[in-house]
Chains A and B, each alone.
Chain A
Amino acid sequence: MNTANPINIVITAIYYIIVAVLALLSLFSVYVLMRYGRNKLLGAIVCVLYALFFLTLLQQSHLALIALQ
């Protein structure tokens, strides 16, 4: 990591905080859907699709973060 540039440190910190919040909200959304949803199969399908999208974006954003450093 390029510690000589303090802006990179700030950007990295902000990124991890935002991603942590998004991940927590995502997990809680999935929990609410599975707990209160009446059709568990539909809930599971939606959760899996969402997880695929979210994790793909997470991986791409992490690669962008690494490229920054």
Chain B
Amino acid sequence: MTNRLFPSQLDTETIFLVVREHWARLVLKLLIWLILALALVLFEKYGPNFVPALFTGSAATITTLFTQVYTMFLVLALLIIWILYYLNIQVITSLRIVDISQDGLFSHTVSELHIDKIEDVTSEVAGILGTIFDYGMVYIQTAGKTERFEFSNVPHPSKIEKTVLTLYEKNSNFAKEGNESDPEQLTHT
């Protein structure tokens, strides 16, 4: 039995693409985390020189307590950053597009769009970092209840756009001619 990427995944379904947010976006978040961690390190290293009152007597114990709790915050923040990066994926299969979205710890959304419901696909690369690292948005216009699927900050958006359009055309041809489409290799992004 294959390791399912989403609950309703069929055994006969071919996975073409699994997409996560570009690593550059994760690095940005980690840089912010690093700045906060560095603030703690600098406080502990240079604090006694600038604010010696915080590091003597009972105040020193309170300062130690504060730094320990702050460190616990940092470790938890790191875990949450990684969990949100890891759980947010988009899957493109031979039958549909699945958007698994973890918006914070308390919101988990799974959206599915059947390939034959696609009306339009648009890719967009904007900004300096997006241009350098080739990541951006992919918008999939649908005929269903959800008007537009959005893939945010995904790598190689034009490649994803082409993959989706190719699948749509194959699906259309299959519907018209009743031919079976050829299976393709699994690709991870």
The answer to whether A and B belong to the same complex is yes
Q: What separation, in Å, do the CA atoms of A37 and B86 have in the docked complex? A: 8
Number of A-B residue pairs at CB separation under 8 A: 70
Interface size, chain A (Cβ < 8 Å): 27
Interface size, chain B (Cβ < 8 Å): 26
Task: Determine the residue in chain A with the shortest Cβ distance to B82.
Answer: A46
Residues of A within 8 A of B100 (CB): 36
Does B32 belong to the interface (CB within 8 Å)? no
Given contacts A38-B5, A46-B79, contact A25 B87 (CB under 8 A): no
A19 touches B69 (CB 8 A): yes
A29 touches B108 (CB 8 A): no
Given contacts A50-B79, A58-B72, contact A32 B102 (CB under 8 A): yes
B73 touches A36 (CB 8 A): no
A36 touches B87 (CB 8 A): yes
B105 touches A25 (CB 8 A): yes
A43 to chain B, nearest CB (A): 9
- Interface of chain B residues 38 through 82 with chain A (CB within 8 A): 58, 61-62, 64-65, 68-69, 71-73, 75-76, 79-80, 82
Residues of A within 8 A of B58 (CB): 68
A interface vs B, CB < 8 Å? 11, 15, 18-19, 22, 25-26, 28-29, 32-33, 36-39, 46, 50, 53-54, 57-58, 60-61, 64-65, 67-68
